[in-house]
Structure 1
Amino acid sequence: MIHPTLRKKQLFILLLLTVLILLTITVSMGLGYASLSFDRLLPTLFGQGTFKEEFILFSIRLPRIVITLLAGMALALSGAILQSITRNDLAEPGIIGINSGAGVGVAVFFLFFPIDPGSFVYMIPFVGFIGAIITAALIYTFAYERNIGLAPTKLVLTGVGFSMALSGVMIVLISSAERQKVDFIAKWLAGNIWGSDWPFVLALLPWLMVLIPFVLYKANRLNILSLNEHTAIGVGISIEKERITLLLAAVALAASAVSVSGGIAFIGLIAPHLAKSLVGPRNQLFIPVAILMGGFFLLIADTIGRNLMTSEGVPAGIIVALIGAPYFIYLLLKK
């Protein structure tokens, strides 16, 4: 049973994060290369803006904002799952190579397969999932030891190795590609939010609508899996079955997010950690907080990045990495 005080604290933090997200959305709608004054936001939202104002808001700003928010949520939830099932605080889809696997899948599809504009948007999450699941299966195989099961430290080291190897594969793939396609993949690698139209929202949203309730339903199993092998066996849980099922969910979330948001790391590391520090390690408590926190972090990173320097701005992945890399080093030294 969860103490009522913790429940109240969780609800307060969720409310605070919701307010911060709404404020960030408001700021993000008003800022950009094409100006849209804040006093015109409400009239434009209710259909009383000029053609230019409505085009900027509904065709450029809002779809990118929604995609960024959803991708951040998916990456944070994926990281929370991976940390629980591997019992490793450093597990995160970007660090252990899952994002890179999805990226190679998307790159192969983009470079070597005929692209149908009507189905491309909806195909890339599935293509990313195939690349990510092959990578995850290989990492799991190499990190698994017969006597002790999944070795948490070995998992991170194996994942980092795969991530570097897949980065090399990506370089080989783009070395002979057309300039236009190379530019796209380079932006993807930097973590540039490229899926900024409403169809991309429709391609990503169903994955979250299915997987967020599923993971919350499995929260008790995650609590047990995050303890140790003997405890899980003692309460009658089929460890490998649950672990593989939840790993598939984590891979699907990460692949669907990075297929439209680019190679963004560290969101899945930072958001679950901060959520646990606020409401404790119970998955029922920290997962909803981590989901909103991940969406907020990526949204604010993209808002800052696209308003810096040139008209194209700085990719959100770089802004996140500037914060996430030092935090990763801190956790590495601490643990």
Structure 2
Amino acid sequence: MIRAASVQKQVIVCVTILLLIAGTIVVGISIGSGSLSFNRLLSTLIGNGTAKENLVLFSIRMPRIAVTLLAGMALALSGAILQGITRNDLADPGIIGINAGAGAAISAFFLYFPLDPKTFAYMLPLVAFGGALATAALIYLFSYSKTKGMEPVKLVLVGVGFALALSGLMIVMISGADYRKVDFIAQWLAGNIWGADWPFVWSLLPWLAILLPYTLYKSNALNLLAMDEAVAVGTGVSINRDRLLLLGSAVALAAAAVSVTGGIAFVGLMAPHIAKAILGRRHQYFVPLAVLMGGWLLLFADTVGRNLVDPAGIPAGIMVAIIGGPYFLYLLLKK
């Protein structure tokens, strides 16, 4: 009975968020420079648009919306996993340095290695994953104690330190680089949605399509890891193996997302928290909502920021930080 009520509530809330996402997509297409009026949207979608309308919808607006939505979902899922395996409600791939590790690897790749335009979109997630994985491994080692195991508070502190150090490293790398490449990295640091083309959608989609079902499959293990190590051991969970596999999944999701959107923090912090507040702390219930919430948060931030200031707008990363910064301080004081 309780389970049926929880599932029903989950379905109702998820459908509500899907409607909110659909509304935000329509608004995002209908406003701004090169916008497509609402009364022409349906006609263009079914193939009756003019050449200009087809260009605006299918080559400009839709790929950017798809990239933003998928990246927000990936960041939210990454945050939900990290909060579970570290038992720390302040864990987020941007806050604890994983995004910065991906950014440092992307900066080095972009500045010092020849780029093939045909494979650039598909190489970036792999490069970002390598940098993020190395950073996550170091953070894990520095925050792990043989006597106490994973120390959640220490993980956040070590992660913040790595984030600052790696951000400084990126600034050092670009200080003597070509100004055109510097401009790209500066946009990345600000969280500007730059990978707004279909190849970037296809490079991001497989990571989410594979790792979301895997995370849901591991929901019971995440529930136990989020409680206590002794409880997890007592129920037969292989702590180290499951934690490392899930950590790798979280790193891969965050790296794939920030490789096309830039350094965006707080989405992975806020979305899981909001979902937990609505549906409770069981991962099989709140993770689908957190994923949808993360997609909507980043899509909303990008839509508002893109149309708030002419002509370039405000990067989505800055808009999310304006919302997420105070929220992070609230959680810090609360915990």
Tell me which interval the TM-score lies in, with the shorter structure as reference length.
over 0.9
Give 3-state SS (helix, strand or coil) of 2:285's partner.
helix
Query: Corresponding residue for 1:53?
Result: 53
Does residue 32 of structure 1 match 2:25?
A: no
Task: Please tell me the residue identity of whatever aligns with 1:3.
Answer: R
Per-residue CA distance 1:192-249 (angstroms, 9 max, x = gap) = 0000000100000011110000000000000000011111111111111110000000
Name the structure 2 match of 1:43. Answer: 43
Match of 2:130 in 1: 130
Moved more, 241-250 or 309-318: 309-318
Show the counterpart of 2:18: 18
> Shift of residue 2 of structure 1?
5.7
Aligned-partner Cα distance in 2 for 1:233–1:217: 19
Partners of 1:42 and 1:300 in 2: how far apart?
21
1:264-294 CA distance string (max 9 Å, x none): 0000000000000000000000000000000
1:281 maps to 2:254: no
Could you give the per-residue CA deviations for residues 163-194 of structure 1, whole angstroms, max 9, x where no partner exists? 00001000001001100000000000000000
Letter in 1 for 2:170: M
Partner Cα distance (1:62, 1:324) in 2: 26
Q: Give the C-alpha shift of residue 3 in structure 1.
A: 2.1
The whole-number CA distance in structure 2 between the counterparts of 1:214 and 1:236 is: 19
Asked whether the equivalents of residues 29 and 35 of structure 2 are also in contact (C-alpha less than 8 Å), the reply is no
Runs of 4+ in 1 over 4 A off after TM superposition: none
Number of residue pairs the alignment of both structures matches: 335
SS in 2 for 1:328: helix
**Structure 2 match to 1:102:** 102
Match of 2:164 in 1: 164
Q: Deviations over 1:134-176 (max 9, x none)?
A: 0000000000001010000000000000000001000001001
- State the match for 1:118 in structure 2: 118
Aligned to 1:221: 221
TM-score w.r.t. structure 2 length? 0.99
Structure 2 counterpart of 1:239: 239
- Residue 174 of structure 1 aligns to which amino acid in structure 2? I
Q: In 1, distance between residues paired with 2:164 and 2:51?
A: 47
> Aligned partners of 1:199, 1:31: CA distance in 2, in Å?
25
Question: What residue in structure 1 maps to residue 311 of structure 2?
Answer: 311
Distance 1:202 1:168 in 2: 31
Mapped to 1, the partners of 2:19 and 2:235 lie a distance apart of: 40
CA distance in 1, matches of 2:275, 2:309: 32
TM-score in terms of structure 1 length:
0.99
SS in 2 for 1:147: coil
Unaligned residue ranges in structure 2 (runs of 5+): none
Q: Residue 329 of structure 1 aligns with which residue?
A: 329
1: CA distance between counterparts of 2:11 and 2:107?
41
Helix, strand or coil at the partner of 1:130: helix
Structure 1: gaps (5+ residues): none
**Secondary structure of the structure 2 residue equivalent to 1:117:** coil
The 8 Å contact of residues 103 and 259 in structure 2, kept in 1 or not, is answered as: yes
- In the TM superposition, what whole-angstrom CA distance separates every residue of 1:31-64 from its partner, at most 9, and x where no partner exists? 1211321111111111111111111111100000
Distance 2:65 2:244 in 1: 32
Task: Name the SS of the counterpart of 1:129 in structure 2.
Answer: helix
Distance of 1:6 and 1:36 partners within structure 2:
40
Partner of 2:307, secondary structure, is coil
Matches within 5 A, 1:189-228: 189-228=189-228
